Structures are given as structure tokens and as C-alpha cells.
Chains A and B, each alone.
Chain A
Amino acid sequence: MPHIKLPEGLHGIRGAMAFRPETAKPLNELVEVLLHAPNSLTPGERELIATYVSSQNDCYFCQTVHGAIAAAHLDGNEELVRCVKMDFFNADISEKLKALLVIAGKVQKGGKHVTTADVEAARALGATDIEIHDTVLIAAAFCMYNRYVDGLDTWQPHDEELYRQRGKKTAKEGYVTMSKEYIPQQS
């Protein structure tokens, strides 16, 4: 049972966001820019970073929903998403993305863990400053979203098909549009 009285029938972060629409707005706008807006990193790559960090933080809701969004961007390749969570070094992704996932994993442990060598390795594989910036911020932001979802003990049903369907829709429409489904709209 959630630690506070959240609106019923809404999963994970949706219940928390519907409880407090004022903070939901910037939370959705931030994730929209980081994961959905045009970027030199593809949406699938950015969703893989979000999924990986959420799995490191052991947040069921976030890793499952972002894993489903990643798969939707990657031609439904759920196996690739699983590989990235288990052992990304052996996953079929670019060397640049592997180097960025190393940085994301360091950020998850704490900002000071990121080393100059980690950043140089990513840069040698073609990562730009903005891609390194966005990787750090995606990883940092999911250290927030994951704690928000688990810290309130939100309702997180274990129903893969539900997340798969929602993942397809979010991959297409983005976070701000989707939020209108569950956040009370001000007229």
C-alpha cells in the first residue's frame, strides 16, 4: 500500500503525478526533453540509458515501462533491452552507447564516480559534449524518478502486457501528451 493516499487505479509515477499536478508538469517536461525531443542520440538509445539506470536502482515500474518504450523504438526488440540490463558490454549496441552506459552507471552510484577516463573513452568513440551532458542528466534524473516512485511505495502491478501497450503509445506520443490521460487538467 502506498505510504500516502494516492488516487486509485493509477500505476507507479502516474499516481504520484496525479496527486501533485504542480510538480508533475516540470517532471514531465524534463523527461520529454531528455528522452523524446529530437537529439543526436536516438530515442531508443536514450530509453536504454533510462532503463539501465532504473534497473540499477531496482525500480520495477521505471525499468519495465522504459524498457517497453525502448523496445517500441527498437522494432520490438525486447531481447536487446534484457541484454542491456544484464550485461550491456555484450549487447548488440554501438561502442559509443556502451561508453555512455559506463558513465550512466557511475552517475547512478554518485556524481563523483565519473572519471575523466570514462569521459575520454566516450569522446574517442564519437560522443559529443551534449551527448555526454544528456547521459549524465538522464542518469541523474532517473535517480530522482526511481526514488520518487519507490519512496512513496506506489502501486506497481506486474503485468508485462500492460507496460508493452503503454510503451508503444508513449514511444509515439511522448510524455507530455500522455500525461493528459491521468493528470487533472486545469481549464
Chain B
Amino acid sequence: MPHIKLSDELPGISAAFAFRPETAKPMRELAHILLHEPNSLAPGERELVATYVSSLNDCYFCQTSHGAAAACHLGSTDTVKQVHADFEKAPISEKLKRLLVIAGQVQRGGKNVTSSAVADARNEGATDMEIHDTVLIAAAFCMYNRYVDGLATWQPREESMYAQMGEHLAHEGYKTPSIKPTNAE
């Protein structure tokens, strides 16, 4: 049961957003810019960074919904599973692997990011903007994950629901709710 009185028809962050629309607005906008707007990193790559960090933070709702969004962009759920299990062996670019190293360092704490990890990413072609966005996506998911789990939101184990959310996130982005209350007409 959630720690505070949230809608019992909305899962995960959707319920927290409905509880406090004032903070939901900038949080939605931030995710929209980081994950959905045009960027030299593909949306699928950025969703992989988000789902990877969420898996390190052990947040079921975020890793599953962003994993579904990544799968929708990439047309493959296998790649998402491989990134969670061992991204070094996943069928993704060397550049993205080096960016995932940086994201993992940010997850442990900002000071863990090393100059050599940044140099490795740059050697594979990562730009300053891509390194910036990787750091901020990883940092932002250390917020979203804590928000979702810190309130003990309802996180149903229902793959079809996440697949549906992933479709919405991949196509529409983050400015509008990705799921409606279960009893909505």
C-alpha cells in the first residue's frame, strides 16, 4: 500500500503525478526533453540508458515501463534484456556501451564518474552534449526511481499494461499521461 493516499487506479509515477500536478509538470517536461525530443542519440538509445539506471536502482515500475518504450523504439525486447543483464555483450554500439558505463557511475554517485570513462566515450565519438545528456538522464532516473519507490506506489506485475505504456511513451512522449484510470470510460 502506498505511504500516502494516492489514486488506487493509477500505477507507479502516474499516481504520484496525479497527486501533485504542480511538480508533475516540470518532471514530465524534463523526461520529454531528455528521452523524446530530437537528439543525436536515438530515442531507443536514451530509453536504454533510462531503463538500465532504473534496473540498477531496482525500480520495477521504471525499468519495465522504460524497457517497454525502448523495445518499442528498437523493435526488440531481447536487446533490452541483454542491456539489463550485461550491456557489454548486447548488440548496441560501442559508443552507447561507453555512455552506459558513465550512467552506471552516476547511479552510484556523481563523484564516481572518471575522466577516463569520459575519454573512452569521446574516443567512440560521443559529443559533449551526449555526455551531458547521459549524465542528466542517469541523475534524473535516480530521482524518478526514488520518487516511485519512496512513496511505495502501486506497481502491478502485468506485462501487457507496460507494453501499452511503452507504446504511448515511444509515440507520444511524456507530456501527457501514458495510462488512464482502469475504470475510466
Contact = CB atoms under 8 A, between A and B. Distances in A.
Interface of A: 3-5, 16, 19-20, 22-23, 25-27, 29-30, 33-34, 37, 57-59, 103, 106-107, 110-112, 114, 116, 119, 129-130, 132-134, 136-137, 139-141, 143-153
Nearest to A103: B150
Contacts of B115: 3
A140 B20 contact: no
Contact of B109 (A20, A26, A57): A57
The 4 closest A-B pairs by CB, nearest first: A111-B149, A150-B110, A144-B143, A140-B146
Contacts, number: 149
Contact of B59 (A34, A111, A147): A111
A133 B26 CA distance: 16
Contacts of B157: none
Interface of A is mostly: helix
A146 B110 contact: yes
Given A3-B115, A129-B5, A140 B132 contact: no
B53 to A, nearest CB: 10
B150 A114 contact: yes
B149 A112 contact: yes
A30 B3 contact: no
B81 interface: no
B4 A4 contact: no
Nearest to A140: B146
B151 A136 contact: yes
Given A3-B115, A25-B29, A110-B146, A147 B151 contact: no
A59 B109 CA distance: 10
Given A114-B150, A152-B132, A141 B29 contact: no
Interface in B30-75: 30, 33-34, 37, 57-59
Nearest to B34: A23
Contacts of A149: 110
Given A111-B145, A132-B4, A151 B110 contact: yes
A149 B110 CA distance: 7
